[in-house]
Amino acid sequence: MANPDQRGRQELLYFDDLHAGQRFTSGTHRIDEEEIKAFARQFDPQPFHVDAEAAKNTLFEGLVASGWHTAAVTMRLLVESGLPVAGGPVGAGGEISWPRPTRPGDVLQVESEVLELRPSRSHPNRGIATVRSETRNQRGEVVQVLIAKLVVPRRSAAAPAPDAPSRDAVVHDVASP
């Protein structure tokens, strides 16, 4: 999935290295019918996700991936190559929409843009980056838009502190820095 060695070639970015308008492009992933069905059998067993014949008579008029599958593949692309932030993309939430479904054979790619940066007041060793990630298919059609708030360490925080903040502190940060 994606370009397995792309991450190694990218420099990891800290909060201080980011700026609004900065863009990133992920590798690609081709999603096939078996993957769509396997994910859906486990997590979203509805006819339009697990049965190509039955799917023809639904509003999707054919087999489509669960939106949560599109979200999961997007995350893989972001982790591997699409969002080279230090510590990895750690989000506390966001807005998600699926303007179009993902269909078998679609080749997905994620384009991300930094929208806003906000240093944390309570935790000077990190900041919150708001990032918009559009997942597109091979025709350039947007299948998912995700606007996420990510926790990104500052350069000074490169070495993990012994009093590493808890996840609750992270969430507090995002909610009220």
Measured between alpha carbons, how far is 55 from 40 in angstroms, rounded to an integer?
Answer: 13
Contacting a second copy within 17-46 (CB under 8 A): 39, 42-46
Give 147: exposed, middle or buried? Use CB within 10 Å, 0-12, 13-18, 19+.
middle
Which of 3, 100, 115, 117 binds a second copy (CB under 8 A)? It is: 100
Question: CB of 90: closest distance to a second copy in angstroms?
Answer: 7
In the complex, minimum distance from the CB of residue 103 to a second copy, in angstroms, rounded to a whole number: 10
Check binding of 107 to a second copy (CB under 8 A). Answer: no
Say whether residue 171 binds a second copy (CB under 8 A): yes
We find the least distance from the C-beta atom of residue 131 to a second copy, in angstroms, to be 15
> Shortest CA distance to 176 belongs to which of 129, 122, 126, 130?
122
Of 11 and 21, CB closest to a second copy: 11
CA angle 3–73–83, rounded 5-degree value: 60
Q: Tokens 């708001």 correspond to what residue?
A: 130
Cα 177 from Cα 168, distance rounded (Å): 12
Q: 97 or 138: whose CB is closer to a second copy?
A: 97
Q: Which residue among 32, 95, 155, 158 contacts a second copy (CB under 8 A)?
A: 95
Residue 143 buriedness (CB in 10 A; 0-12 / 13-18 / 19+): buried
Identity at 36, one-letter amino acid code? I
**132 alpha-carbon distance from chain centroid:** 9
Per-residue contact string for residues 51-90; x = within reach of a second copy by CB under 8 A = ------xxxxx--x-xxx--xxx-xx--xx------xxxx
Contact between 93 and a second copy by CB under 8 A: the answer reads: yes
Size of the site for a second copy (CB under 8 A): 49
What is the C-alpha separation between 84 and 24, in angstroms, rounded?
Answer: 8
Query: Where does this chain bind a second copy (CB under 8 A)?
Result: 39, 42-47, 57-61, 64, 66-68, 71-73, 75-76, 79-80, 87-101, 145, 151, 160, 164-171
